[in-house]
Amino acid sequence: MNAELIPLNRFEGRFRAALMFEDAQSLLGMTRTESRAFLHTAREEGFRGQYEKTCLLRYDQGKSRLLIAGLGKRKEFEPDRIRVAAAMLIRDAEKMEVRQLGLLLAKAVPSGLPGFVEAAVHGAILAAYHYTEHRKLKDDDPRPPDDLFLCLPKGQAATKTLKRAVAEARAVADAVCYTRDLVNEPPSEKSPEKIAELATWLAKKGRISVQVLHKAELEKQGMNGILRVGAGSHEPPCLVHLHYKPKKARKTVCLVGKGITFDSGGLSLKPSTGMDAMKSDMAGAAAVLGVFKLLGDVNLPVEVHGLAPLAENLPGGSAQKPGDVLRAYSGKTVEVLNTDAEGRLILADALAFGSRLKPDVMVDMATLTGACVIAVGDEYSALFGTSRPTISALIRLGKQQGEWFWELPLVERYKSHIKSKVADIKNIGKQRVAGSIVAGLFLQEFVDKEVPWVHIDIAGPAFTQDGWDYARPGGTGVPVRTIAAWLKSL
């Protein structure tokens, strides 16, 4: 979907849209006089601007239509409500086969006009997303509008700030959609080497470089966490290292994303029910690639390393076995008691590698534990870590972006749960006890104590069967928007 900023008098379409606070005396983007007749008719239909509600009105002898979406009570306003309202407008317009939609913008919104623009573009583009790569489109398939015109209020100029807000919002939304595509792709189409090849396409001369450590290099480096997880598959594992280096970087950040391109559980085989969704076990790596797609389109004075350890976890004849001991890249030995606790093994190598890059902060993203979904549900991500400023920033910015985070503790006493009798550490703790926390403690063992670090467990919100708000069923792109906002804040 195209999103363009234009003066209201240049919009020539017959379908306009506006937002409204509950029981307000005017529509956002209209004067009270202009709004009066619309509001009277809307209230006759029982619409008062309730959050997550819409109302369709006709005017100009039925030739033109106005679609209104509610923001709820003004005192309960959050920027994400604009995204949700824009998404509802797009879905209603999609049902009515509208090709061009003009959204009235308003200055008098708590988030300000640039914030209004950003949220509206995010909500519209993300709601318009459909994954149709592998099926033949039908005539009656839903088709979102081709164009969203952001119509400026009378007397409001299209300033550089507003134009930049539109461009950046489109770039972020496109990066999220790219991430969703990677997650939604069938597992046979995204082997570790295929994902690595896609990563190389993100390279931009003088801006982004890409290095891939293939199987031979992994063996040379001693990255046995990645190697042993991928040993049961015919598809060789690899490690992707992306690097964005602006001319005057103020900080250096390392992003690490778990990339299990399909997770059968290995010899600790998962139940067949729901295994098809295990194509999403590379959502962390997909988010890293999505962020670098964004970095190719925007200018940020932050140096960023992106690491994506990639492997396919299958129960082949050469697969690692419960009871095996491996020596990770850091030199620590790991007793593997459950081959379905594999994500932490590949992340162990990547985090140790990232630590040697000496970043100011390192953040990893992983669909790591089912225990996380039990703890915080399927729309929240759990946060753990040693960087208090980063954790606070991610929670705050996530709320603004409509990506929700909840901090869980790294309980020092629980380190005893992963103490091994035959190796330095074991890869699981007590059964059904503090699974997400213990996984975080395991990862912490491979992060240099001098490197501030945050672990994000996205097991719940990275993939949805039913969809919500502006996320269609499938990959959601969490937490790309929050990471983008955080990098910008640095």
b/e per residue 126-153 (b: at least 16 CB within 10 A):
bbbbebeeeeeeeeeeeebbeebbbbbb
- Secondary structure element (H or E) that encloses residue 59, with its range: strand 54-59
CA angle centred on 106, ends 104 and 111, rounded to 5°: 130
Bridge partners for 307 per DSSP: 241, 256
CA atoms within 13 A on the CB side of 223: 29
| 104 φ/ψ angles, rounded to the nearest 5 degrees | -75, 125
- Out of 83, 293, 344, 472, the active site residue is 344
User: Contact at 8 Å (CB) between 5 and 152?
Assistant: yes
- Out of 48, 91, 270, 415, the active site residue is 270
Tokens of 422: 């035959």
Tokens of 259: 């990339």
Residue 473: other Cβ atoms inside 10 A: 13
Tell me the C-alpha distance between 47 and 69, whole Å: 9
Tell me how far the alpha carbon of residue 281 is from its chain's centroid.
Answer: 13
Please say whether the dihedral angle defined by the alpha carbons of residues 452, 327, 285 and 276, taken in this order, is positive or negative. negative
Residue 465: other Cβ atoms inside 10 A: 9
* 10 in active site: no
* 154 in active site: no
Q: What residues are labeled active site?
A: 270, 344
